[in-house]
């Protein structure tokens, strides 16, 4: 083995000061062991650092840097936010889940204010297993069911049961004189109208008034009688005393005089639940409401005899008794209040002739 002395000029680093003279050997040209990490930078300790004329060292092929290409970005996928409103409504209709609008904000916005046609179709699908008389009655409990939705439910239901309105059949078989000039008749009008097929199912009906339309007191800008109340009575004529007289009793609590009069003219009964409506008016100290519930309505006793001319004859009044007879129980209710209303007590005793209970009179004498 041949060794060559190394001078101070051949030191690899100016900061290294070896104490003993070092000689370069052929062992310095040996490659490192295979246990060396692949990407760890290595600097051989051969003559390239210790000798002024470095020895050529064969490069290790494992030292070649490896290029790792980045993974390509995944293509954007479609989400429920990309679906059209009609598709979301179809999913909601088929799912039958009332909590589906809570999936995210986009779905909620699509189902918050739907068209009357979709709302009617959803209600018919939701109560498809109910009896015919319960379909519209149950649907009216939802706030989304207004007059437009109720009319659309009636139209869709008539189409399903095969019902054709009379005016529709008349327009389909109308004569050329009654049609508009732009439409040219193609079929002659038969002498006798064709018999319409019998509907397969009965029509929708309302056998119970929804409580939600009576629960809230109307605001200053709202009508005293909600339009949907008049619509239900004029179209379906539901029983006004359904729900044990809830409509009248709630209207008394809300001090809605117009609605109370409207319900009384429709046949509301003040005797339900042991005259609860009058007791509520007594506790509210509302003498005007008490008179409205007890006394007959204006014009209820006016009638005309046969042969009288409507322009010359005057309406004759028939004496009508009060709707409710005031007894000692109602007087006791008025006198036992924390702060009794003297006007109500005077109305019951002096005007209606009710006798207060003896114990109440004695209690007043002791006071």
Nearest-angstrom CA–CA distance, 231 and 181: 35
SS3 278: helix
Given this model, what pLDDT does residue 199 score?
85
More confident residue, 33 or 344: 344
Which segment, 2-6, 197-201, 331-335, 356-360, is predicted with the most confidence on average?
A: 331-335
Q: Which DSSP state fits 100? A: G
Given this model, what pLDDT does residue 73 score?
76
Lowest mean pLDDT among 114-118, 159-163, 312-316: 312-316
SS3 317: strand
Q: How far apart are the two ends of the chain, measured CA to CA in Å?
A: 137
In degrees rounded to 5, what are phi and psi of residue 91? -65, -45
Label residue 164 by pLDDT band (50, 70, 90): confident
Given this model, what pLDDT does residue 230 score?
96
Given this model, what pLDDT does residue 196 score?
72
The beta strand positions in the chain, using DSSP E, are: 4-5, 23-24, 302-303, 316-317
- H/E stretch holding 282 reads helix 272-283
Query: Could you report the per-residue pLDDT of 106-159, keeping only the tens digit for each?
Result: 999 999 889 999 999 999 999 999 999 999 999 999 999 999 999 999 999 999
The beta strand positions in 34-156, using DSSP E, are: none
pLDDT at 268 over 50: yes
Asked if 226 contacts 218 with a C-beta cutoff of 8 angstroms, the reply is yes
State mean pLDDT over 301-325. Answer: 58
Q: Which residues pair with 302 in a beta bridge?
A: 317
Write down how long the chain is: 367
Lowest mean pLDDT among 182-191, 226-235, 353-362: 182-191
In degrees rounded to 5, what are phi and psi of residue 5? -70, 145
Given this model, what pLDDT does residue 361 score?
63
Q: Which DSSP state fits 34? A: T
Percent of the chain residues past pLDDT 70, beyond the cut: 66
In the structure encoding, which two tokens stand for residue 220, read together? 């200053």
Q: Which DSSP state fits 350? A: I
More confident residue, 347 or 58: 347
Query: Could you report the per-residue pLDDT of 189-216, keeping only the tens digit for each?
Result: 455 556 777 888 899 999 999 999 999 9
Residue 125 Cα distances to 21, 90, 114, 139, angstroms:
100, 12, 15, 11
**Exposed, middle or buried: residue 219 (CB in 10 Å: 0-12, 13-18, 19+)?**
exposed
Q: Which DSSP state fits 57? A: -
Q: Which residues pair with 23 in a beta bridge?
A: 5
Label residue 356 by pLDDT band (50, 70, 90): confident
Q: Which residues pair with 4 in a beta bridge?
A: 24
Nearest Cα residue to 212 out of 232, 191, 186: 232
Query: Could you report the per-residue pLDDT of 269-281, keeping only the tens digit for each?
Result: 999 999 999 999 9
Cβ count near 268 (within 10 Å)? 21
Give residue limits of the domains in the chain.
Answer: 1-29+46-51
What is the overall mean pLDDT for the chain?
77
pLDDT at 171 over 50: no
Alpha-carbon Rg for the chain in angstroms = 47
Q: Which residue has tokens 């009906």?
A: 205
Given this model, what pLDDT does residue 6 score?
46
Nearest-angstrom CA–CA distance, 64 and 66: 6
C-alpha 164: how far from chain center: 32
Given this model, what pLDDT does residue 293 score?
95
Nearest-angstrom CA–CA distance, 286 and 344: 8
More confident residue, 32 or 282: 282
Bridge-based pairing of strands 4-5 and 23-24 is antiparallel
In degrees rounded to 5, what are phi and psi of residue 356? -70, 155
Q: pTM of this prediction?
A: 0.67
């Amino acid at each position: 083995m041949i060794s060559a002395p190394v001078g101070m000029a051949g030191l690899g680093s100016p900061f290294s000061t070896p104490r003993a003279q070092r000689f370069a050997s052929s062992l310095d040209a040996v490659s490192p062991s295979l246990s060396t990490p692949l990407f760890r930078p290595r600097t051989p300790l051969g003559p390239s650092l210790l000798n002024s004329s470095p020895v050529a060292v064969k490069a290790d092929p494992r030292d070649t840097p490896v290029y790792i290409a980045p993974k390509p970005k995944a293509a954007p996928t479609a989400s429920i936010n990309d679906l059209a409103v009609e598709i979301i409504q179809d999913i909601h209709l088929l799912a039958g889940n009332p909590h589906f609008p809570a999936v995210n904000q986009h779905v909620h916005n699509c189902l918050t204010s739907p068209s009357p046609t979709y709302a009617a179709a959803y209600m018919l699908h939701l109560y498809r297993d109910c009896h015919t008389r319960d379909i519209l009655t149950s649907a009216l409990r939802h706030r989304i069911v207004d007059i437009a939705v109720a009319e659309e439910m009636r139209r869709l239901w008539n189409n399903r049961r095969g019902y054709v309105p009379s005016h529709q059949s008349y327009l389909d078989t109308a004569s050329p004189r009654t049609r508009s000039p732009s439409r040219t008749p193609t079929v002659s009008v038969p002498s006798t109208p064709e018999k319409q097929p019998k509907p397969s199912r009965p029509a929708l009906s309302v056998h119970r008034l929804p409580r939600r339309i009576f629960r809230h007191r109307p605001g200053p800008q709202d009508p005293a009688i909600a339009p949907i109340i008049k619509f239900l009575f004029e179209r379906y004529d539901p029983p006004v005393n359904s729900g044990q007289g809830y409509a009248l009793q709630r209207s008394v609590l809300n001090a809605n005089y117009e609605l109370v009069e409207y319900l009384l003219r429709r046949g509301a009964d003040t005797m339900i639940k042991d005259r609860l409506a009058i007791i509520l008016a007594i506790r509210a100290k509302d003498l005007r409401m008490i008179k409205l519930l007890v006394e007959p309505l204006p014009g209820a006793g006016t009638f005309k005899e046969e042969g009288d001319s409507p322009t010359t004859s005057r309406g004759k009044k028939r004496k009508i008794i009060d709707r409710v007879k005031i007894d000692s129980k109602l007087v006791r209710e008025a006198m036992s209040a924390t702060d009794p209303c003297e006007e109500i007590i005077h109305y019951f005793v002096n005007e209606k002739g009710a006798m207060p209970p003896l114990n109440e009179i004695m209690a007043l004498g002791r006071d």
